[in-house]
C-alpha cells in the first residue's frame, strides 16, 4: 500500500538569524532607512564640498567662464554684482532686462572684500582668491547639524551601524554611549546662536531678492522671481529646523519642575517651549527638507548667476 501523502504545507524557511552582527528577527526592510540616509548624507557632503571649494577649482571643473562677468557672478555666488566699471553691461549682453539679487546660501552672509551684498558686505579684508568665502560660513551650520540630536541618531546608524536599526544586532560587543571621544557632541548648544543668526541673514537675502536692478536705467525695481521664492523658502525651512532644536527647547523651557506654574501656562517660557515643541515634533522632517533645499537653492543661484539659465522674474 502506498504511503499516505503529505497533507500539511511545508513551512517557509525562516531566514532570520538570532546571533552575530546584524542578527534580527525583523522581516521588514529595516536596512532601507539607514542606506537611504547614508546615500542622502554622502550626496550632500560631496555637493557642498564641491561648491564650497568651487571658487578655487581648476577651470576644467567649473562651468564655462563667460568673459566680462564679475567674479561673484561667474562663480555662481551672487547674481547682482556689477562689473569692474560698476555697471551691468554684462547683463545687457546676456539679454537680461533686470538683474536679480540672489546670493547663494552657501556664501551668506557675504563677507569677502569683493562682496557687494548684505549688511556685512566686505567685513573681512580677504579676496575670493585668498580663501573660499564659504569657509567663513559653513563651519557653523555644519557643526550644528553634525551635533544635532536627530542627525546623530541617523548617521550613527547609517555610517557606523551603531546600532543598524531597532532590534538589529550591532557588529560590536561593547556599548559606551556618547562618552570619551564623543563628548564633543555636547557642543551642540554652542552652535545654536550662530544658526539663529544665519536665519536672520538668509531672511534678509530672501527679502532682498524681491529687488531687481533695471539694466537700461540702473533703477531699482520690485518683483518676484523663481529665485525669490527659492531663497524665501530656504529661510523658512532652515528656521523650521532650527526652531525645533532640542537644545533650544531645553533653554527656553528648561530648569522648571512645573511648566504651567505659577502663571497657569501663560508664562513666556511656557509659551516659548510650546512654540519650539511645535517644530520639534517634526524635527526629522524639517532636517531633511532644509538640507535638501539649501543645496537646491545654491544650485539654482549658481545656474542663474553663471548665465547657464535665465532668471524667471515677474516685475511689478
Ligand atoms: Fe537638532 Fe538641535 S537637536 S538642531
Question: DSSP labels for 234-298?
Answer: HHHHHHHHHHT-HHHHHHHH-S-S-TTTTTTT-SHHHHHHHHHHHHHTTHHHHHHHHHHHHHHHH
For 31-88, what is the HEC assignment? Answer: CHHHHHHHHHHHHHHHHHHHHHCHHHCCHHHCCCCCCCCCHHHHCCCECCCCCCCCCC
Of ligand 1's listed atoms, the one at least distance from the Cα of 189 is 2
Q: Which residues line ligand 1 (CB under 6 A)?
A: 148-150, 188, 245-247, 283
pLDDT at 275: 95
Question: For the chain, which residues make up each domain, given as ranges?
Answer: 32-243+282-315
What residue's CA is closest to ligand 1, atom 1?
148
For the chain (316 residues), the mean pLDDT of every run of 10, in chain order, is 50 62 88 96 96 86 81 88 88 92 92 74 66 86 96 95 90 80 92 96 96 93 97 98 96 81 79 94 98 97 90 93
Radius of gyration, alpha carbons of the chain: 26
For cell 539649501, name the residue: 294
pLDDT at 269: 87
pLDDT at 197: 96
Is residue 1 packed enough to be buried (19+ CB in 10 Å), middle (13-18) or exposed (0-12)? exposed
Of ligand 1's listed atoms, the one at least distance from the Cα of 245 is 2
pLDDT at 297: 98
pLDDT at 129: 60
What residue's CA is closest to ligand 1, atom 2?
245
Distance 251 CA to ligand 1 centre (A): 12
What residue's CA is closest to ligand 1, atom 4?
245
Distance 286 CA to ligand 1 centre (A): 10
pLDDT at 5: 53
Pairing of strands 313-315, 211-214: unpaired
Distance 101 CA to ligand 1 centre (A): 31
> Could you tell me the pTM of the whole model?
0.88
Name the residue of 143, 246, 251, 284 to mutate for ligand 1: max ligand atoms within 8 A of Cβ. 246
* The dihedral sign for the CA sequence 50, 144, 185, 131: positive
Of ligand 1's listed atoms, the one at least distance from the Cα of 148 is 1
Of the candidates 291, 170, 185, 302, the one whose C-alpha atom is nearest the C-alpha of residue 246 is: 185
Distance 188 CA to ligand 1 centre (A): 8
Within 53-185, strands assigned E span 98-100
Distance 297 CA to ligand 1 centre (A): 22
Amino acid at each position: 500500500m502506498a504511503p499516505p501523502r503529505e497533507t500539511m504545507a511545508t513551512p517557509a524557511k525562516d531566514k532570520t538569524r538570532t546571533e552575530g552582527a546584524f542578527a534580527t528577527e525583523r522581516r521588514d526592510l529595516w536596512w532601507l532607512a539607514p542606506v537611504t540616509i547614508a546615500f542622502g548624507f554622502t550626496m550632500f557632503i560631496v555637493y557642498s564640498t564641491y561648491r564650497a571649494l568651487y571658487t578655487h577649482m581648476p577651470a576644467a571643473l567649473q562651468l564655462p567662464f563667460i568673459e566680462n562677468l564679475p567674479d561673484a557672478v561667474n562663480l555662481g555666488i551672487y547674481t547682482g554684482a556689477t562689473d569692474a566699471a560698476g555697471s551691468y553691461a554684462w547683463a545687457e549682453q546676456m539679454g537680461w532686462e533686470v538683474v536679480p539679487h540672489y546670493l547663494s546660501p552657501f556664501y551668506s552672509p557675504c563677507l569677502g572684500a569683493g562682496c557687494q551684498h548684505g549688511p556685512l558686505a566686505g567685513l573681512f579684508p580677504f579676496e575670493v582668491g585668498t580663501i573660499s568665502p564659504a569657509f567663513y560660513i559653513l563651519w557653523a551650520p555644519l557643526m550644528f547639524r553634525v551635533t544635532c540630536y536627530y542627525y546623530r541618531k541617523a548617521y550613527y546608524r547609517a555610517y557606523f551601524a551603531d546600532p543598524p536599526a531597532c532590534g538589529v544586532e550591532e557588529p560590536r560587543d561593547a556599548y559606551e554611549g556618547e562618552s570619551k571621544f564623543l563628548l564633543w557632541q555636547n557642543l551642540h548648544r554652542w552652535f545654536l546662536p550662530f544658526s539663529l543668526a544665519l536665519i536672520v541673514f538668509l531672511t534678509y537675502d530672501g527679502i532682498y531678492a524681491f529687488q531687481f536692478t533695471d539694466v537700461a536705467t540702473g533703477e531699482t525695481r520690485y518683483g518676484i522671481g523663481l529665485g525669490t521664492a527659492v531663497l524665501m523658502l530656504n529661510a523658512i525651512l532652515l528656521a523650521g529646523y532650527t526652531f525645533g532644536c532640542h537644545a533650544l527647547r531645553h533653554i527656553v523651557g528648561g530648569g522648571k519642575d512645573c511648566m504651567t506654574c505659577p502663571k497657569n501656562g501663560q508664562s513666556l517660557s511656557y509659551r516659548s517651549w510650546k512654540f519650539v515643541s511645535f517644530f520639534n515634533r517634526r524635527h526629522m522632517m524639517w532636517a531633511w527638507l532644509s538640507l535638501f533645499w539649501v543645496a537646491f537653492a545654491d544650485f539654482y543661484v549658481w545656474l542663474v548667476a553663471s548665465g547657464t539659465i535665465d532668471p524667471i522674474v515677474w516685475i511689478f
